Amino acid sequence: MISSKKYVDETLKKYQIQAKPSLGQNFLVEEKIVDTMIHQLNLNSQSIVLEIGPGLGALTEKLVALAKHVYAIEIDNRMCAILKETLGQHTNLTIIHHDFLKFDFTTWLKNIDTSHLSIVSNLPYYVTSAILNKLIFNAIPFSSLMVMMQKEVGKKLINPQLKEKSPLHVILDYQYNLSIVEYVSKNAYLPRPNIDSIVLKITPKTPKIKVHNEMFFYQLIKHLFQERRKTLVNNLQAYFPTKEETILFLNQRNITCEKRIEQLSLDEIIEICNHLC
C-alpha cells in the first residue's frame, strides 16, 4: 500500500529524493485516513476526480480503483515521474505536471462531465487559502470537495471570529455546506509536520436567499473586505452618488452605518448586493 511508512521510506530511498519543505510535502502514511476520505467522496463508475497534489499517490491509488477517471495535478516533476512508474498502468489516470494555482480550468472543464466531478486534496499548508480561493471564486462545479488542511485553519474556516472573516468565508456560507470528516494527528505523516490536520468535506447547497448577479457579488465582497477597517457608510461610498444617499440606504434597512463588513450577516450582505447590482 502506498499509504504506509514502509512504502514511503523505501520509495524515497529508491529514487534518492527527499520531501521538499518548500512545497509542503508531508506524505500520508495511515491507510485508515485515506479510506475514510475515499469513502466520504461516495465515488461510482461515473465519477470524475480532480486530485490536487497527489504526491506519491496514497489517495490516487484508491481513486483509480473506483472512479471513471482521475486527473492528478502535481507541481513536483519528481513525484510525476514516480506516479507514472507506479500507477501509470491505469488507463483512467491522467497525470498533469503543473502548478495548480496557474492551471487554466477553461478548456479542461469543457472536456469533462462536471455533473459527477469530485475534488480531493491533501493541501500543502502554505497554499491552502490560495487553492480554496481559486476553487471557490472560479465557481468550479464540483459535487463534493474533500480537503485535508492544518487543523486550526480548518476550524476557523467553519467558525471564524469576526477579525478572521474573509471573502472566502462569505462565499462558503452562501453556497456550501462544510462538515468535519476527521481529525488527523501529525503522526500520520512522513516527514512529521509540527501541527495536526483536519479533513473537511465541502458540498454545494441551494442558497436561502439568492443574489441577482453572482459575479458582482464576488467583486463586491472582495472590494468591501479590501477596505475592511472602514465603516460601512464609507466603504460603500463608491456605489452611491453622495454620502447622504448611502446613509439613507443603510437606515432604510436598519443596518448601522458604523458597522464594518465582517459584522454584517450574510442576509445583510446579500440585500446590499441585490440593491446595487
Residues tagged in the binding site annotation for S-adenosyl-L-methionine: 26, 28, 53, 74, 99, 122
In the annotated binding site, the residues are 26, 28, 53, 74, 99, 122
Classify residue 67 by its DSSP letter: S
- Give, to the nearest 10 degrees, the angle between helix 167-175 and helix 151-158: 60
C-alpha grid cell for residue 244?
Answer: 447622504
The identity of residue 86, as a single letter, is T
- Which CB contacts under 8 angstroms, 24+ apart, belong to 175-179? 175/136, 175/204, 175/205, 175/207, 176/136, 176/202, 176/203, 176/204, 176/205, 177/202, 177/203, 177/204, 177/205, 178/202, 179/203
Which of 255, 259, 258 has its CA nearest to residue 272?
Answer: 255
Q: Find how far residue 106's CA is from the centre of its chain.
A: 18
